[in-house]
Homo-oligomer: A and B are copies of this chain.
């Protein structure tokens, strides 16, 4: 075996931004691998979860909660609906908007994904060992302060 070459990272080495990127990348890939066997794209998980937790939520409120533009949600929700996981019904109060909820099939898929997420999260907890609350607090603060 050749030894791996040593690479200098310069200011990236001690940078929160770069470490954040590498950690998120690794975490996302690991979760995608688990979730792939549950047959749903990992990007859909957050949406499914938030709909499940907030039956009747509208698309724009969902978008704000997960930080995505409304135009991003249209095809996402269409796919979930086509897959029979999400139910949409036009609001009677405000006829521009529609209320979202999980179908029984959606609940089942969400339950599966929650299992994957729990396993993934357990792994992350192990890695963070005792520092989890601190870590989550810091990450949320970064998202809030930079997110606007």
Which residues on A are within 8 Å of B, measured CB to CB? 4-5, 7-12, 14-31, 46, 49-50, 52-54, 57, 61-62, 64-65, 67, 114, 117-118, 120-121, 123-125, 127-128, 131-132, 134-136, 138-147
Report the Cα distance A64→B114, complex, angstroms.
32
- Interface class of chain A by DSSP: helix
Cβ–Cβ < 8 Å partners of A123 in chain B: 145-146
Q: How many protomers of this protein does the assembly include?
A: 2
- Provide 25 A-B residue pairs closer than 8 Å at the C-beta atoms, listed in order of the A residue: A4-B64, A7-B54, A7-B62, A9-B49, A9-B50, A10-B53, A11-B117, A11-B118, A12-B46, A15-B136, A16-B121, A16-B135, A17-B31, A17-B121, A19-B135, A19-B136, A19-B140, A20-B27, A21-B46, A23-B142, A27-B146, A123-B145, A124-B142, A128-B138, A135-B135
Q: Which of B31, B64, B127, B142 makes the CB contact (< 8 A) with A26?
A: B142
